[in-house]
C-alpha cells in the first residue's frame, strides 16, 4: 500500500515538474528564423491597412501557413510586437501539443512522461518549438488530430474532417500524414452501402472541411492562386531531388539520430502489437517519404521531421494505451508489482529532462562552425544563435547584418531610390521602410519571377535564383510595361493584373485563368539569359564593387540598387 502511495505521489510531482522543465526548455531554445521575418512584414502591412501583402500594392502570398499567419497576426495585435507575440503564441501551442499527447495516453503519467521527454529532446522538435515558423502549430494540430482519430469516444467523422482541414491550413503537405487515417475512418463508416449513410458521410465531410474550403476561395479571389507563392518558388525542376533528399537523410544522422530511433520504435511497437493504427501509420510515413524524395526535402535540418515525429509519438502512445486497457494481465501487473519500478522510471526521466532543460550553456555553442553547409542543408538554429535567440532579442534586439542592410535601404529611400534587388528578404524586408520595394531573385515574394527559369550555375535547395530580366526592373521603375517580346509583355501584363488589379474586374479574372492554365509555360521554359533585354545577373553587369558581388545561393549576396543609365541597366552595390 505504501508503494502505491509513493507511485501516486511521484506521478503527481513528476507531472508538474515536467511542465516546469518544458517551459525552461522552450525559452532556453527560443529563436526566430530568417523566414519568420517575411511573415512579420506582412503583419505590419496588414496593421497599416495594406492587406496581407509583402510589397505593398502586390497581393502575393509569401507565407506558407495560412492559419499560422492569422494566429500570429492576432498575437501581434494583442502583444504589440510581432516578434514577442509570435514567441508567446508558440509557447502556448507547445503546451497544447503536449496536452493532446497526454490525452492520447489516456492521462497515464507513467506512459506520457517517457514518450514526451524522448519526443521533445529530439533536436528536430526541440529546435523548432519556436523559430517563428508554423512548427509549434503543426505539432499542436497534428497531435490534436491524431489523439482524436485514435479515440473510440471522440472520433466522429465530422470532427475528424474538421481537424483534417485545420491540419491542411497549417501546411498543405500535412495532408499526406493524415490522409490514411481519413481513409481508414471513412471505410469504417460503410458509406458504400449508399442511402442515408452515404449522404450523411458526405454532408459531415463538407461541414468538417469547410475551413479549408473557405480559405481556398479567399486565396483564389485575393491572391489569384490556390497554393502559396512559396510553393512555386521552392518546388522547381532542374536538379536531382532524389540525391538531395538522400543528403538530407544523411545529415539527419548527424543532426538528430534520436528522430530515427523514435520513428523506428513507433513502427516496431505499433506493427509488432498488430495495432489498428499500423496500416495508416506506415502508409502516412511512406507517403511523406515519397514527397520528400520528390521535392528534395529541405534546407533546414530537422524541420520536415516535425510532422512525422509528432504523428509517430502520438500513435505510439495510443497503441500502448490500447494494449494496456485491453489486457487485464498488464493492468493488474502494473498495479501490483511495478510500483517501485515506476518510481525509478519517473526519477530517471525527470533527471534526464532536467539535465537538458536546466543547464546554463546552450548546446549550440558546441555544434561547431556556424556557417557549415552540407549540400545546402544547415543547422539553422545554430547559425542564428546569438543573433535572433530570445535573449539577444530582449537585451539588444536582433543582431544581424541583414538589419544593417535594411538601414542602408532606408537611407537610400530618403535619397529617392525605392526599388532594390536583394536575397534573404526576411529581416531586410521587415526592418526596411514599408515603402521600400524589394525584388527577390529567389522569388519568394515575386509571383512573376517564380515562373521564370533558374539562372545558370549551382543551386541550393530552397534557394532557387531566377533569371531577372532587365526589362522587368525597368517596368517596375518606370511604372509601365517595358517588355519587347510579345509573350513576355503579355505575361507581365497579366501578372500585374492578377497581383495588383481590381479584385473583381473581368480583366483580372481572365488574366487569372490565362496564368493558371499554363498557356505561357512552354515559352517561359525556353527563356535564356539573352531574352528580354538580358538577365539581371550581377556577374553580367557593371557594379560599383564587382569583387564583392556574388550570386544569392542562400548566402545573402548584397543589396543592389538598379539605375537606368544611357538606356541600359546598371547595378550599384548598396554599402
Cβ neighbours of residue 368 closer than 8 Å, sequence gap 6 or more = none
Distance between CA atoms of residues 140 and 400, nearest Å: 31
User: Are 485 and 456 within one domain?
Assistant: yes
513 lies in some domain: yes
337 lies in some domain: no
74 lies in some domain: yes
User: Are 384 and 458 within one domain?
Assistant: no
Cβ neighbours of residue 389 closer than 8 Å, sequence gap 6 or more = 30, 31, 362
Over the chain, what is the mean pLDDT?
85
User: Are 83 and 198 within one domain?
Assistant: yes
Beta bridge pairs of residue 571: 562
Collect the ranges in the chain with pLDDT lower than 50: 1, 336-337, 364-368, 537-550, 553-555
Q: Strand 568-573 to strand 560-565: parallel, antiparallel, or no bridges (unpaired)? A: antiparallel
User: What's the pLDDT score for residue 370?
Assistant: 52
Is the Cβ–Cβ distance between 448 and 472 less than 8 Å? Answer: yes
Identify the domain boundary among 278, 306, 326: 326
User: Are 216 and 113 within one domain?
Assistant: yes
270 lies in some domain: yes
User: Are 300 and 373 within one domain?
Assistant: no
User: What's the pLDDT score for residue 555?
Assistant: 43
In 3D space, the residue among 112, 27, 10, 28 whose CA is nearest the CA of residue 359 turns out to be 28
User: Are 452 and 511 within one domain?
Assistant: yes
Cell of 501: 488589379
Cβ neighbours of residue 468 closer than 8 Å, sequence gap 6 or more = 421, 439, 441, 449, 452, 455, 535, 536, 537
User: Are 423 and 296 within one domain?
Assistant: no
Identify the domain boundary among 326, 350, 382: 326
In 3D space, the residue among 430, 453, 432, 427 whose CA is nearest the CA of residue 441 turns out to be 453
Q: What is the domain extent for residue 78?
A: 61-326
User: Are 465 and 379 within one domain?
Assistant: no
User: Are 161 and 224 within one domain?
Assistant: yes
Angle value at C-alpha 214, between 175 and 96, nearest 5 degrees: 55
User: Are 248 and 313 within one domain?
Assistant: yes
515 lies in some domain: yes
User: Are 435 and 373 within one domain?
Assistant: no
User: Are 312 and 171 within one domain?
Assistant: yes
Distance between CA atoms of residues 233 and 224, nearest Å: 16
User: pLDDT tens across 484-495, in order?
Assistant: 888 889 999 999
Identify the domain boundary among 294, 326, 358: 326
Cell of 5: 502511495
Distance between CA atoms of residues 182 and 547, nearest Å: 56
177 lies in some domain: yes
536 lies in some domain: yes
Angle value at C-alpha 121, between 116 and 126, nearest 5 degrees: 105
434 lies in some domain: yes
Distance between CA atoms of residues 328 and 183, nearest Å: 31
Please tell me the total count of domains within the chain: 3
Is the Cβ–Cβ distance between 468 and 439 less than 8 Å? Answer: yes
Amino acid at each position: 500500500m505504501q508503494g502505491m502511495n509513493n507511485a501516486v505521489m511521484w506521478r503527481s510531482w513528476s507531472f508538474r515538474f515536467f511542465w516546469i522543465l518544458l517551459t525552461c526548455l522552450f525559452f532556453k531554445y527560443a529563436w526566430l528564423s530568417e523566414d519568420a521575418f517575411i511573415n512579420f512584414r506582412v503583419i505590419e502591412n496588414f496593421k497599416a491597412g495594406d492587406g496581407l501583402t509583402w510589397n505593398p500594392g502586390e497581393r502575393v502570398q509569401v507565407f506558407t501557413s495560412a492559419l499560422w499567419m492569422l494566429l500570429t497576426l492576432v498575437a501581434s495585435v494583442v502583444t504589440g510586437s510581432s516578434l514577442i507575440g509570435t514567441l508567446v503564441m508558440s509557447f502556448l501551442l507547445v503546451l497544447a501539443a503536449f496536452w493532446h499527447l497526454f490525452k492520447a495516453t489516456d492521462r497515464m503519467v507513467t506512459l506520457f512522461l517517457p514518450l514526451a521527454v524522448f519526443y521533445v529532446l529530439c533536436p528536430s522538435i526541440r529546435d523548432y518549438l519556436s523559430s517563428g515558423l508554423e512548427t509549434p502549430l503543426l505539432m499542436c494540430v497534428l497531435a490534436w488530430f491524431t489523439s482524436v482519430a485514435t479515440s473510440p469516444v471522440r472520433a466522429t467523422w465530422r470532427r475528424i474532417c474538421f481537424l483534417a482541414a485545420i491540419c491542411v491550413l497549417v501546411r498543405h503537405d500535412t495532408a499526406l500524414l493524415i490522409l490514411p487515417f481519413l481513409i481508414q475512418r471513412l471505410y469504417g463508416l460503410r458509406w458504400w452501402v449508399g442511402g442515408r449513410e452515404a449522404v450523411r458521410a458526405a454532408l459531415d465531410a463538407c461541414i468538417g472541411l469547410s475551413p479549408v474550403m473557405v480559405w481556398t476561395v479567399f486565396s483564389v479571389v485575393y491572391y489569384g492562386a490556390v497554393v502559396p507563392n512559396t510553393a512555386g518558388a521552392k518546388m522547381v525542376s532542374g536538379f536531382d531531388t532524389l540525391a538531395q533528399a538522400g543528403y538530407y537523410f544523411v545529415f539527419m544522422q548527424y543532426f538528430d539520430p534520436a528522430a530515427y530511433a523514435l520513428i523506428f520504435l513507433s513502427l516496431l511497437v505499433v506493427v509488432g502489437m498488430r495495432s489498428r493504427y499500423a496500416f495508416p501509420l506506415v502508409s502516412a510515413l511512406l507517403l511523406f517519404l515519397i514527397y520528400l524524395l520528390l521535392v528534395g526535402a529541405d534546407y533546414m535540418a530537422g524541420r520536415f521531421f516535425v510532422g512525422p515525429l509528432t504523428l509517430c509519438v502520438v500513435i505510439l502512445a495510443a497503441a500502448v494505451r490500447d494494449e494496456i486497457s485491453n489486457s487485464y494481465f498488464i493492468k493488474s501487473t502494473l498495479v501490483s508489482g511495478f510500483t517501485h519500478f515506476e518510481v525509478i522510471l519517473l526519477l530517471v526521466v525527470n533527471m534526464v529532462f532536467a539535465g537538458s532543460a536546466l543547464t546554463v550553456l546552450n548546446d549550440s555553442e558546441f555544434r561547431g562552425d556556424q556557417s557549415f553547409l552540407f549540400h545546402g542543408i544547415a543547422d539553422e538554429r545554430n547559425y542564428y544563435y546569438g543573433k535572433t535567440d530570445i535573449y539577444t532579442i530582449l537585451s539588444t534586439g536582433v543582431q544581424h547584418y541583414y538589419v544593417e542592410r535594411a538601414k542602408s535601404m532606408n537611407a537610400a529611400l530618403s535619397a529617392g531610390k525605392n526599388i532594390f534587388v536583394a536575397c534573404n528578404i526576411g529581416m531586410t524586408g521587415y526592418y526596411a521602410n514599408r515603402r521600400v520595394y524589394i525584388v527577390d531573385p529567389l522569388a519568394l515574394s515575386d509571383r512573376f519571377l517564380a515562373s521564370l527559369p533558374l539562372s545558370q550555375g549551382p543551386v541550393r535547395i530552397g534557394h532557387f535564383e531566377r533569371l531577372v530580366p532587365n526589362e522587368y526592373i525597368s517596368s517596375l521603375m518606370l511604372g509601365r510595361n517595358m517588355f519587347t517580346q510579345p509573350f513576355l509583355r503579355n505575361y507581365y501584363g497579366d501578372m500585374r493584373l492578377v497581383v495588383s488589379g481590381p479584385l473583381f474586374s473581368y480583366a483580372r479574372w481572365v488574366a487569372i485563368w490565362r496564368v493558371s492554365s499554363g498557356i505561357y509555360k512552354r515559352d517561359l521554359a525556353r527563356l535564356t539569359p539573352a531574352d528580354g533585354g538580358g538577365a539581371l545577373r550581377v556577374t553580367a553587369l557593371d557594379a560599383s564593387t564587382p569583387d564583392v558581388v556574388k550570386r544569392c545561393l542562400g548566402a545573402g549576396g548584397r543589396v543592389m540598387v538598379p539605375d537606368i543609365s544611357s538606356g541600359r541597366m546598371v547595378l550599384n552595390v548598396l554599402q
